[in-house]
């Protein structure tokens, strides 16, 4: 294919579809058109017919992932800005994050074993509930495949943001803290944007809890690797 001779073809296409999909999502507000779903769908629609291998695609786009490092550093800003919220409710939030993480790890691992998924897929599923910059290093600590984890994290976000909206209608949750934590622990970034639509306080809680849960899991990863 002639197109593939262009060295930055995949990078240009990635940036192009990302910008396009962000624009169209802002105009329509349709969840199915959000970049989280539309960008991978569009890219796969081009790459699959061309028989592109992942190595070929990632050759010119790999460096984008290096930016996840500075993103992790940037997480210091929301933690600092929400420090009063954290100081006031640290016990409820910490218990929620620990209980949620244990539930996530135990059910992912247990269900994957019960359904006889192979070990690298199972270990890639374990950190699927936390945000990608943390989930990928946890996955490699556990012997999973970080890229596969990123895929599972995306599915979790897409499904979790929808499920969380339904659950809020049914569950008797009176505190914005519980509503925010549900999204932050259960559906990371996609959940945080959904939580902001529910309310400002829910959004702040979700954002804070998402980052702290990621950190918690990262620090627990060596222990987890020994246990699982």
Partner 1 sequence: MKRFTRLLIELVVLLAIYLFGCQLAMWLAWPIPGGVVGLGLLLMAFASGLVKPAALQLGAGVLMAEMLLFFIPALMSLLDYGGLLRNEGWRILLVIGLSTLAVMLVTAFTVELVCRWRLRHEA
3-state secondary structure labels for all residues of 69-120: HHHHHHCHHHHHHCHHHHHHHHHHHHHHHHHHHHHHHHHHHHHHHHCCCCHH
Choose which of 39, 142, 195, 216 interacts with partner 1 (CB under 8 A): 39
What track of x and - describes contact with partner 1 for positions 179 through 218 (by CB under 8 A)? x-xx--xxx-x-------------------------x--x
Which residues within the stretch 165-184 sit at the binding site for partner 1 (CB under 8 A)?
Answer: 167, 171, 173-175, 177-179, 181-182
Site string for partner 1, 11-30 (x = CB under 8 A): ---xx--x------------
Shortest approach of partner 1 to residue 149 CB, angstroms?
A: 8
Q: Read off the tokens for 217.
A: 């899991």
The rounded distance, in Å, linking the Cα atoms of 1 and 30 is: 35
* Pairwise CA distance, residues 138 & 61, whole Å: 22
**Binding pattern to partner 1, positions 134-163, x when CB under 8 A?**
--xx-------xxxx-xxxxxxx--xx--x
Q: How far is the CB of 26 from partner 1 (least distance, A)?
A: 12
Residue 227 in the binding site for partner 1 (CB under 8 A):
no
Instruction: Give 27 or 211: the residue with its C-beta nearer to partner 1.
Output: 211
Contact 208, 82 (CB under 8 A): yes
Binding mask 96-135 for partner 1 (x = CB under 8 A): xx-xx-xxx--xx--xx--xxx---x---x--xx-xxx--
Task: Tell me the two tokens of residue 19.
Answer: 């910008």
∠ CA 223-226-228 to the nearest 5 degrees?
A: 105
Closest distance between partner 1 and the C-beta of residue 31, in Å? 14
Cβ atoms of 206 and 187 closer than 8 Å: no
Residues in the chain: 228
């Amino acid at each position: 294919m002639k197109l593939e001779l262009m060295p930055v073809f995949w990078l240009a296409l990635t940036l192009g579809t990302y910008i396009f999909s962000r624009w169209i999502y802002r105009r329509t507000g349709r969840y199915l058109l959000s970049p989280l779903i539309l960008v991978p769908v569009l890219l796969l629609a081009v790459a699959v017919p061309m028989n592109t291998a992942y190595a070929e695609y990632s050759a010119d786009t790999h460096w984008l992932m290096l930016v996840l490092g500075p993103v992790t550093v940037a997480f210091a800003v929301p933690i600092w800005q929400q420090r009063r919220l954290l100081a006031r409710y640290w016990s409820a939030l910490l218990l929620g994050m620990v209980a949620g993480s244990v539930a996530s790890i135990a059910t992912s691992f247990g269900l994957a074993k019960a359904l006889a998924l192979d070990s690298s897929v199972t270990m890639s599923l374990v950190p699927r509930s936390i945000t990608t910059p943390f989930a990928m290093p946890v996955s490699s600590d556990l012997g999973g495949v970080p890229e596969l984890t990123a895929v599972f994290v995306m599915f979790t976000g897409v499904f979790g943001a929808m499920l969380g909206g339904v659950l809020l209608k049914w569950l008797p949750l009176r505190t914005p803290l519980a509503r925010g934590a549900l999204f932050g622990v259960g559906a990371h970034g996609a959940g945080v944007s959904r939580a902001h639509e529910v309310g400002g306080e829910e959004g702040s809680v979700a954002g804070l809890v998402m980052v702290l849960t990621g950190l918690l899991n990262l620090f627990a990863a060596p222990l987890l690797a020994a246990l699982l």
